[in-house]
């Protein structure tokens, strides 16, 4: 054999060997992928909501059903109502420590542990659902949210939005800013801090405890979500006046929490399914609220509920105090400060656009 032929033969041999190795690797990876695709997962999802509660609770159930259907049963999620596995306000902790792989709740419920969480949830006189979603999904919000929750071993996703809430149910008339003095009210998050600064006494309690607290006079007032959910809790049977607008929460975004270690065990297609289902519920819940709030308000009015608007001077003072509270709350925590710096700049641009175009058409349309 000539030297050139020997080299050529050796070359082919080497190439063939390399190719065989490559095929083997592909087959191994393929087998691993196939095994991951065969693997089934049964996860627990703890929630802050009463069983099958309209809006939020139904949204959590819808998420689990969608994931089950889209994954053809490979990822089954069992939904637990508040208190079944952990109390309503301990969902984040439960997911963080791995008691459950998933959770569904409102970010501001854990502001004591993660002060920055409430900036992803609701801001008094802040963004509506569209604006919050634009910031989260196109304006860098989700990336910040993931960064904030990472030290707790939790991956957050937006999973539901209420749209504009109502100011709530009051057993005392609100005619001036002084009427908040000594008022005992249930409202969480930054809105609650505003009321505290107005002289009120604020408590947070989960949905399941609100009706009794209002009926027994343990609290003078409460807000919950809006007509759809408030009717379901029967708040009109324990209260005189229903006030609008929902200055404290022009939107609340709910979160899906995923334990990060559990998340890493999922193959890529199941991860994509979870993300798609969360996005679906995020939008679908808002549709549900928009449709049902209108119907529920009609029913409440038929039952004699008196709907009132907060006086202009009250709203103006609430707005001033809200701006101070949001700034102070951001300043009090370095992580919240970082979130608010980015978020407020982005929201300012969104509000300028809304002022120019959206607000105008609403005003004209009536
Ligand atoms: Ca609320």
pLDDT in tens, 43-56: 999 999 999 899 99
State the average pLDDT over residues 14-22.
42
State the average pLDDT over residues 96-118.
97
State the average pLDDT over residues 176-186.
97
From the CA of 225, how far away is ligand 1's center (Å)?
4
| pLDDT reported for residue 109 | 95
State the average pLDDT over residues 109-114.
95
From the CA of 80, how far away is ligand 1's center (Å)?
21
Q: Residues lining ligand 1 (ion), CB within 5 A? A: 165, 223, 249
State the average pLDDT over residues 143-149.
98
Residue 254 has pLDDT above 60, yes or no: yes
Give every CB contact of residue 250 below 8 A, 6+ residues apart in sequence. 122, 123, 125, 126, 127, 128, 164, 165
Alpha carbon distance 235, 216 (integer Å): 12
How large a percentage of the chain has pLDDT more than 90? 87
Residue 143 has pLDDT above 90, yes or no: yes
| pLDDT reported for residue 29 | 60
From the CA of 78, how far away is ligand 1's center (Å)?
26
Please state, in angstroms and as integers, the Cα–Cα distance from residue 153 to each residue in 207, 260, 264, following that order.
27, 5, 11
Most confident of 3-7, 25-29, 292-296: 292-296
Q: How many other CB atoms sit within 10 Å of the CB of residue 312?
A: 8
State the pTM of this model.
Answer: 0.89
Cβ proximity of 225 and 160 under 8 Å:
no
From the CA of 144, how far away is ligand 1's center (Å)?
24
Domains of the chain plus CATH, in order, are: 40-162+251-290 (3.40.190.170), 168-248+310-365 (3.40.190.10)
From the CA of 192, how far away is ligand 1's center (Å)?
10
From the CA of 210, how far away is ligand 1's center (Å)?
12
Among 149, 366, 75, 107, CA closest to 252: 107
283 pLDDT tier (thresholds 50, 70, 90): very high
Tokens encoding 129: 């659902």
Tokens encoding 286: 């808002």
Residue 16 has pLDDT above 50, yes or no: no
From the CA of 163, how far away is ligand 1's center (Å)?
10
Alpha carbon distance 322, 330 (integer Å): 12
């Amino acid at each position: 054999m000539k030297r050139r032929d020997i080299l050529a033969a050796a070359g082919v041999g080497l190439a063939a060997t390399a190719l065989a190795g490559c095929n083997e690797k592909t087959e191994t990876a393929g087998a691993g992928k196939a095994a991951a695709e065969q693997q089934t997962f049964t996860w627990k999802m703890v929630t802050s909501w009463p069983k099958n509660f309209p809006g939020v609770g139904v949204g959590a159930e819808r998420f689990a059903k969608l994931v089950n259907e889209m994954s053809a049963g490979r990822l089954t999620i069992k939904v637990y109502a508040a208190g079944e596995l952990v109390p309503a306000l301990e969902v984040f902790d439960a997911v963080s420590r791995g008691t459950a792989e998933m959770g569904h709740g409102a970010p501001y419920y854990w502001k004591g542990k993660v002060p920055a969480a409430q900036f992803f949830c609701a801001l008094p006189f802040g963004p509506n659902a569209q604006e919050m979603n634009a910031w989260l999904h196109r304006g860098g919000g989700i990336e910040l949210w993931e960064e904030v929750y990472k030290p707790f071993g939790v991956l957050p996703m937006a999973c539901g939005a209420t749209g504009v809430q109502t100011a709530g149910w009051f057993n005392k008339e609100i005619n001036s800013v002084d009427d908040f003095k000594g008022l005992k009210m249930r409202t969480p998050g930054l809105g609650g801090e505003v009321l505290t600064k107005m002289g009120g006494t604020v408590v947070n309690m989960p949905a399941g405890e609100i009706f009794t607290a209002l009926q027994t006079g343990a609290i003078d007032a409460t807000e919950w979500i809006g007509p759809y959910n408030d009717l379901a809790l029967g708040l009109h049977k324990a209260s005189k006046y229903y006030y609008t607008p929902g200055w404290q929460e022009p939107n609340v975004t709910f979160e899906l929490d995923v334990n990060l270690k559990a998340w890493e065990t999922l193959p890529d297609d199941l991860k994509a399914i979870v993300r798609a289902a969360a996005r679906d519920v995020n939008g679908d819940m808002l549709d549900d609220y928009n449709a049902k709030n209108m119907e529920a308000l009609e029913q409440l009015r038929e039952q004699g509920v008196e709907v009132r608007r907060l006086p202009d001077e009250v709203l103006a003072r609430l707005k001033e105090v809200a701006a101070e509270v949001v700034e102070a709350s951001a300043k009090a925590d370095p992580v919240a400060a970082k979130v608010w710096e980015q978020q407020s700049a982005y929201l300012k641009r969104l509000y300028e656009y809304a002022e120019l175009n959206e607000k105008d058409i609403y005003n004209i349309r009536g």
